[in-house]
Amino acid sequence: TLRRNDQKTAKHVLKLKARVQDKEDALGNAETNFEKSSRAMPANVGYVSSTSLLLAEMYLFLFSNPVL
């Protein structure tokens, strides 16, 4: 039973790692898209919106993650 539990735990960890990787990929895509769009803005507008975007991402990550 110990070995079976270890296998289940390992599978669960792999699933979580995949989910985290998916989120990181999505975050990376959002960041590159945002960088492309923020080049067209004046510097101070880009700064303000990137700060609020970062705060929003942190909020979403903290409160949308069922497994903590």
Q: How far is CA 13 from CA 16, 29, 41, in A?
A: 5, 24, 41
DSSP 3-24: HHHHHHHHHHHHHHHHHHHHHH
The residues spanned by each domain of the chain are: 22-68
Residue 66 backbone phi and psi in degrees, to 5: -70, -25
Q: Which amino acid is at 16?
A: L
Angle, helices 2-38/43-64, rounded to nearest 10 degrees: 160
pTM of the entire predicted model: 0.39
15-60, pLDDT tens digit by residue? 888 888 877 777 777 777 766 665 555 555 555 566 777 777 777 7
pLDDT digit string, tens, across residues 49-63: 667 777 777 777 777
DSSP, res 66: S
